[in-house]
Chain A
């Protein structure tokens, strides 16, 4: 059990914002960070054997709920995406979609060695070896499989990171979307796309970074019709394309 600092996925902790002198704003941000750290809804994407260690972690013996952690069912509701085992190419598509559908701040935890480096599947042609190539991972919990204690410990560390404002890799996905998309395209082919609109979100929430757009997103835009949401309209204006998939 360890956060593997050697894997360059976590951006160096940003300097604590100076706060601009507004004490109240700081307090408010602290409060929000605290609440975020004490209320984590997790979506366990049970890809492999690691999932078996989660029930003990949740139930009477270890009781995650006392830490404010509870399981949730859909990506919209969840804060943490737990990927619990080897990630095949096919599964990875679903994981990426699920990740993109989660609301930020969102955190990814890779459990088991398989998510770190492919583990015992390291030579399989159909397995994605390193989860952090495809999405920002906040925490790896290595082991084959990690015991509930290890899982809990990892989660506690994540909580601490969140409270201290050190864990906001979700921004990285927006800011370096081209990078992640490139890796995804390399694996899935150039026609890869999800029904989500990451670039639009980056623009909407002001998370645009220098590497949000690039050659890979250009490739994406070439064949993708963006899925614009249906706006309510009275039909008096022009009939614009509502969007297609």
Chain B
């Protein structure tokens, strides 16, 4: 089978995003989900074959390093699958007006396409393009909340994001200036000679900051709480769940392929630690559930950064586990938070209105803080055992940070659970409004229920998933294989040298 199917990962959603105005109503509404389903199927297929061996595609058959390269290893395939599935689960089925809905659906699809592109891109330029695409779609979606607060938040996000893009672009330019190529495989090949110096590191740092805006990296994550608090829940879920993970993936690839340097790892580690500390502690004092989730996701991504900073496939495995786990849990929590937004005090007694919703919240919370046998525990286990195995004391410190912030996380999440099950605030205040207000709609329950089902399935299948995960991490860590796959010629020339 031709690997040109790879292009569909990007092409299908884009097509579905821009075709609808030309189509009649019924098909129009189904086109997006259909495209996503196809991408998901493609993801499953790709995952199965790439577990054995990665594939790459040179678009238009321009051989690298000249052309546009898509590279899919099992990690990328899994992310493609995840992008499709999560987008599907967070699909905007309803809107205020038809026009509004069209726009939302289109933007969502663009976002999905961009995310898929980020997952499979094999060169930095494409990465930048897809990243910009995702950013634009993200601004559009975030502003779609319609409220003034949402617009203000989006505006700030926009400034920060643009500045970030600029920095990333600057970094990419520096790299190009030094190495003369943007193809990742090529870069991996050239990096030891050209980029492993302060100059290269500076470029890495700029890219880190730039992409870090989306990945909620500490220093550039200040937009997150406001956006998540004001945007629609499913948008928050997409941004926190999906986009951040893909930015993370790109950074991880960059780290593995081009900059496997202790300084780069150190930067990642320190920023990750700071992100975890600030995020989780800030969430401790959050007074509404959406901001709390936003900060929590900053913390979780910090944990992922810490994980990726661990050298070797063990760290990658841990980072992947954390990222994927967060991808499963956080969107679902944001879905639940849609109706339960606002001050935490409002939640009192909500469990009586929506017992199933409260149970789901508890399940996600438990997984998030890493209670075995839920998947979150295995992610945390991988992270900690990876950190403990490092000789550097900074890694042990990071382990300590992870442990302490987990305690903080447990406290604030359980505070919410306590609120949910506490005495009904409705008793004292206007009961009817409250009752209606706090009951979760069936669609929300169905959405997060689906995530919960996935989570539980992963929990049950954990013993059988460890081997693929390890394999994925190995593949991702194997930069020689990457180079060899994308640039067979260079690899052979290397070998002959």
Task: Determine whether A and B are in direct contact in the complex, meaning some CB atoms lie less than 8 angstroms apart.
Answer: no
| A residues adjacent to B (C-beta < 8 A) | none
